[in-house]
Amino acid sequence: MGSSDGTVFATADAGATWEDRTGNLPGSPVHSLAVDPDSPQTVFAGLYNGSIYKSTVGSGGWTEVQPGDDTGRVAALVVHPRYPNKVFAGYVPTTTGGRTGFWRSTN
């Protein structure tokens, strides 16, 4: 679960307990999360500043895969169910304006 303060939480027991998995995310609100269907330890986070991060170990270590430019926020993320190396994102404007559109990973 992502939050407006930039924190990411995970649960392994149907919500009885939650662990902070924010790690090195930059603190921008987390607007969307997507889990790789073939590898549940791989999670993508879409941020308010437009950037997309990937965590492959489930421990909170994040790598930026799409830089943000503060011209739109990531409103939706999905991992392709057949080709998990393909990630799709939908962008909407921030409260101060910005872009709308669609992004697809190239690898």
Cβ of 11: how many Cβ atoms within 10 Å? Answer: 11
Amino acid making up residue 57: V
Dist. CA 74–CA 31, nearest whole Å: 6
Dist. CA 46–CA 51, nearest whole Å: 6
Dist. CA 42–CA 23, nearest whole Å: 14
Among 103, 17, 83, 56, smallest CA distance to 47 is for 103
pLDDT tens track of the chain, all 107 residues? Answer: 777 788 888 888 888 998 888 889 988 889 899 999 988 889 999 998 889 999 987 666 899 998 887 778 899 999 999 888 899 999 887 777 677 888 888 76
Query: What confidence score (pLDDT) does residue 60 get?
Result: 64
Query: What confidence score (pLDDT) does residue 58 get?
Result: 61
CA 91 to chain centre: 12
